[in-house]
Every structure is written in C-alpha cells, then in structure tokens.
Amino acid sequence: MGAAPLVSVVIPTYNAGGRLAAAIASVRAQTLTAWEIIVVDDGSTDGTAAYLETLRGPLGDRLRIVQQANGGSAAARNRGIELARSPMIAFLDADDRYLGTTGLGDRLEQLDRDRDLGGVQGGWICEDEATGQQTTVRPWEVAPELDLEAWLRWKPVRLGALLLRKSWLEAVGGFDETLRQSHDVDLVLRLEIAGCRVAWLQAPVVAYRLHGDNTTKNSAVQAACVDQWLKKFFARPDLPPPIQKLQREIFYDTYLWLAWHHLRCDRPELMAQELRKTIPYAPYLTVELPGEWASRLEALAAADGCPFDLDALLAQQSWQRLMVEILWGDRGP
C-alpha cells in the first residue's frame, strides 16, 4: 500500500447497487487524484457486494470495501471514518454524484489555505432522476456565515458537499448512531460548539438525486429524529447564552422547516401536525399565523430551490381543517 491519500471519500450504501456506479465514477473523474474510496455496505441484499468486487481490479487498494450488518447510515459513516487513512474526510451518498472535476480539490485547497478551518462546504443541485430537471441550491444566500445560529435556523448542510478534517470528526465522536436521519445536522451543531469552523465554497459540488427510494422521503422518521436532536441540543449545559435565548425561535423555525419537508414529500397531514407544534412558540397573534406560515413555507421552498404553489396549499383539506381549528376552535365558523 502506497502513501496515505489526501482525502478519504466515505460512501455508505444500502441496496443502491444500481446507482453506485455513477457515484464512484464521479470520484474517479476528479482532477485531485490522491483519494481513496471507502464503501461501507450496510447489509445490502441487492447484489451490491458482487458489483463492488468487479471494481477491485481497476481501482486496487484505492477502493476499500467493508461489509457490515445493517445499522443505518450514521453507523456506516462512522465505520468509514474509523478506517480512513487520510487527514480529510469527504462524504458521498451512494445515489448521489460529485459535479464536474474540481469540487473535491477546490475544497481541499481552501482547507489548506486556512489551517484554522475545520471544514469546507459547497452548494449542490437537486436532480430529479425521473425528469432530469435540475435546481441549483446556493445555501450561502440565506446563511452567509456558517455559525451556530445559521446551522440551527437554516440547517444548510449536505454531507456530499462537506469536506472535514478527520481530527475534528474524531474529537466529537462522529455521527450519533441513534439517529436514523438528520444525524448530519446533529453533527455540524456539535462540531460548531466544539470550535470547528466551517466555511463556504460558493459553488455547487454535488448532485443530490431525487427518486422514490430516498431515505428522506420518510418524512415521519425525519421529523422524529429532528425532534430528538433538537431537544437534546437545548438540554446541553454548555450552550452560549445568546443561543439559549433563541430556544423558542429555533423550535418555531424547526417545526416550520419540518412542515415544509412534509409538504415537499406530499404528506399534508404531517405538515399540519408540525404547524400545530409551532403555535406555542409563535411570536404572532393567532390570526396572523396563516399568512406567516404560508410566507415562511414559500421562503423555505425557495431556499431549497423548489417550486411553491400557494393555491395548491390553500386548497388542501389538511390546511383548511387547520385554519378552522386555530381560528374558530372546535366549533367551526
């Protein structure tokens, strides 16, 4: 085995064999060549293991394959971090791909220029696998500085766009394996509190591919995990006082963010459920909430690069029932 590579690209996979080829090809296309790929097969049953074996010859020891019982993507990523031979860790989901040829090198170069940086994150595109439609997401437009408040309010993290120093990942203990989803947001919050500074590379570097098998399509699990880390976060005794004072605002913002996620996944009843949860934290009169909610949902859609149809929202039965409930109580008009 030769010299240690500069970057270890950790790819967790579970039954994504049909999409894995594009992810690996996008790493091989990078102009930065000092990389290794660590694929952690998290108990796949779709022939992924056999496919990976076909790549051993062309890639040699630059491709490292790990098989483990299914434990979730957080556990798979932690295994990859543990095995990484590089000082820098990049992440890529098995169904996503890096854009262009320079994104990995550009992020590494930015980290090399500023030794005080613990990580660099780029933007991304959302790519609909069925239609080929692409939408560019530029999260630095809503969160110019990646500080604790920005991570909390906007949650502008996409692991495929993030390059981190391995030392920081080890310092905070990696990903929380109790979280099946949203462990990325939990991670960046813990990194920020520990003193890890992350900066933007203001360019899209990864394609997040939208399809029927995305794990984030399970918005009910997503909501439960977000609720778990949110309550855990505000229970910390070491939070800066200015952040402690933002607790009500952050709960309000987060439940609205979850409402948007449910709406995007076409789960209107769950959207209404999250909107109800905002009410105790809302700094508005009850009669102001419908307009405020609609405005914020539209802003969240824009931040994600997604279309927003106000008329369709207002026509939903779950929205209309919620309006009757909050404006008229159980009596109705």
Q: Please report the DSSP string for 264-303 in residue order.
A: HTT-HHHHHHHHHHHGGG-SS-GGGHHHHHHHHHHHHHHH
One of 1.10.10.10, 3.90.550.10, 3.30.9.10, 3.40.190.10 is the CATH number of 7-213, namely 3.90.550.10
Instruction: State the helix-helix crossing angle for 289-303 and 247-264, rounded to 10 degrees.
Output: 70
Summary mean pLDDT of the chain? 92
Secondary structure element (H or E) that encloses residue 48, with its range: helix 48-53
pLDDT tens digit sequence for 15-39 = 987 889 999 999 999 999 999 999 9
Instruction: Identify whether the C-beta of residue 148 lies closer than 8 Å to the C-beta of residue 244.
Output: no
pLDDT tens digit sequence for 33-66 = 999 999 999 999 988 888 888 887 788 899 999 9
- For CATH 3.90.550.10, list the domain ranges present in the chain: 7-213
Q: How many residues are present in the chain?
A: 333
pLDDT grade, residue 213 (50/70/90)? low
At residue 245, φ and ψ (nearest 5 deg) are -70, -15
For tokens 């295994």, name the residue: 79
Give residue 331's pLDDT: 41
Which one, of 222, 140, 161, lies nearest residue 186 by Cα? 222
Where does residue 142 rank: exposed (0-12), middle (13-18), buried (19+ CB within 10 A)? middle
Question: CA–CA separation, 177 vs 188, rounded Å?
Answer: 15
Is 0.75 surpassed by the pTM of this model?
yes
